Amino acid sequence: MTRPRSTPADPPTPDPTGPDSTGRASEDDVLVRLEGVVKHFPVKVGIVVKHEIGRVHAVDGVDLTVRRGETLGLVGETGCGKSTLARCITRLCPLTAGRVIIDGQDLSTMSRRQLRPYRRQMQMIFQDPYGSLNPRRRVGSIIGDPFAIHRVTRGPDRIRRVQELMELVGLNPEHYNRFPADFSGGQRQRIGVARALALRPKLIVCDEPVSALDVSIQAQIINLLESLQSEFGLTYVFIAHDLSVVEHVSDRVAVMYLGKVIELADRPALFATPRHPYTNALLSAASVADPDRSEQRQRIILTGDVPSPVSPPTGCRFHPRCPKAQQRCVDEDPALTPRLGDPESHPTACHFPVEPGEDLAAIRVGTEQPGREEAS
């Protein structure tokens, strides 16, 4: 986030020497490596003897890397598995399959007890600033929790360090003895940030940290996160469904749809030349501040609902709603690899990626595509 902002109008210039978007970076450079992460939730029926009738494919085979000091944005609509993926990264839930490697350590099969020392390196910031703080505890004790749990420091020294943290995130240290109910939503989120920061973690997974806040407060929290990142060299996995927020904070962006990453690119590339039809639709749906531009642009309206993650569609999971879908999309699941057709060729999971300049909205109104189920 410290590098100069470039507008989507700038032609993206790939750096041939640097690590590319697929994340094939040198091992030292990588903080988080996800290999084929799968998380299914069984759907069970029966009162005494339960038997499984299906599985929610919340996360279905995700490979990702997060480099040290960068912010990886994770976008997608509600229910696409973003939050589940976040909980897999921080090992708040056991994985169905796959590996999570953080700082060279494979955490995927560790028990809760084994994980404990590694928890110091990764923290989470939660979406709901009201739900993530225990209403019956004083703020000082909430922020001091990491110190207490990891037996770092106690007594007056703990109070001093908690107050330093409060000052760091822009809270008045004198409010140490107040309760969460005495704070506004933005201030509460600062409390959550202070708690996440207490043990100086390397990785912070932000699960929609600003989506519950007012827009003006959102900016304050994002700026706070950015300044903390440059101060402490933090790595963020930043989950959001608000594209403008993701565009603002991310170095790279991964787009998720129904439990899979369907497009992964450096931020300018993704916003300038989105390849996957879903990404195009997502970008076209984002609100634009300028009303003139907003009226001019073509929105790509997707028909139908997101298919049930219990029984995801065959082949490409987006094919029932995709304007470009063909028979191959029904039969064959596209891999997340760089595709031909644009100078940057970041990885996208689509057989027929959108060419630069192609008008997807026009296809939508046009002829029916084979293999596409029309929503009634």
Partner 1 sequence: MTTTELFEAPEATAESAQQTVVGRSPWQLAWLRLRRDRLAMACAVFIGLLVLVAIFASPISHAIGYSSTGQDRTHGITLDGLPVGPNSRHWFGTDNLGRDILVRIIYGTQVSLVVGVAAAAAAVFIGVVVGLCAGYFGPAVDSVLARVMDVVLSFPFLLFAIALVTVVGPSELVEIGVIAFFSWAAVGRIVRGQTLSIREREYVEAARSLGAGDLRIMFVDVLPNLVAPVIVYTTLLIPVSIVFEATLSFLGVGIIPPTPSWGNMISDAQSFYQVAWWFLVFPGLALIFTTLAFNLLGDSVRDALDPRSERMFTK
Give the long-range contacts of residues 276-281, CB within 8 A, separation 24 or more: 276/318, 276/348, 276/349, 276/350, 276/353, 276/354, 277/318, 277/322, 277/323, 277/324, 277/350, 277/353, 277/354, 277/360, 278/318, 278/321, 278/322, 279/255, 279/348, 280/354, 280/360, 281/360
Binding status of residue 235 toward partner 1 by CB under 8 A: no
Binding status of residue 43 toward partner 1 by CB under 8 A: no
Binding status of residue 237 toward partner 1 by CB under 8 A: no
Closer residue to partner 1 (CB): 106 or 332: 106
Min dist. Cβ of residue 61 to partner 1 (A) = 24
103: left (phi over 0), alpha (psi -120 to 50) or beta: left
Among 21, 65, 84, 123, binds partner 1 (CB under 8 A): 123
Task: Give me the phi and psi of 60, to 5 degrees please.
Answer: -130, 70
Binding status of residue 68 toward partner 1 by CB under 8 A: no
CB 178 within 8 A of CB 139: yes
Binding status of residue 42 toward partner 1 by CB under 8 A: no
Amino acid identity for residue 215 in this structure = V
Among 127, 273, 345, 348, binds partner 1 (CB under 8 A): 127
Min dist. Cβ of residue 356 to partner 1 (A) = 42
Binding status of residue 66 toward partner 1 by CB under 8 A: no
Chain residues 92-121 in contact with partner 1, contact rule CB under 8 A: 92, 115-116, 119-120
Among 25, 179, 297, 341, binds partner 1 (CB under 8 A): 179
Report d(CA 6, CA 330) in Å as an integer: 38
Report d(CA 360, CA 281) in Å as an integer: 8
**Binding string, 132-171, against partner 1, x = CB under 8 A?**
xxxxxxx------xx--xx----------------xx-xx
Binding status of residue 195 toward partner 1 by CB under 8 A: yes
**DSSP character string of 326-371:** -HHHHH-PPPSEE-TTSSS--EE--SSPPPTT--HHHHHHSSPPTT
Closer residue to partner 1 (CB): 41 or 179: 179
Binding status of residue 189 toward partner 1 by CB under 8 A: no
Which stretch in 100-108, 178-186, 244-252, 328-336 sits in contact with partner 1 by CB under 8 A?
Answer: 178-186
Min dist. Cβ of residue 299 to partner 1 (A) = 34
Longest alpha-carbon distance in the chain: 72
Binding site for partner 1 (CB under 8 A): 90, 92, 115-116, 119-120, 123-124, 126-128, 131-138, 145-146, 149-150, 167-168, 170-173, 175, 177-179, 181-182, 192, 195
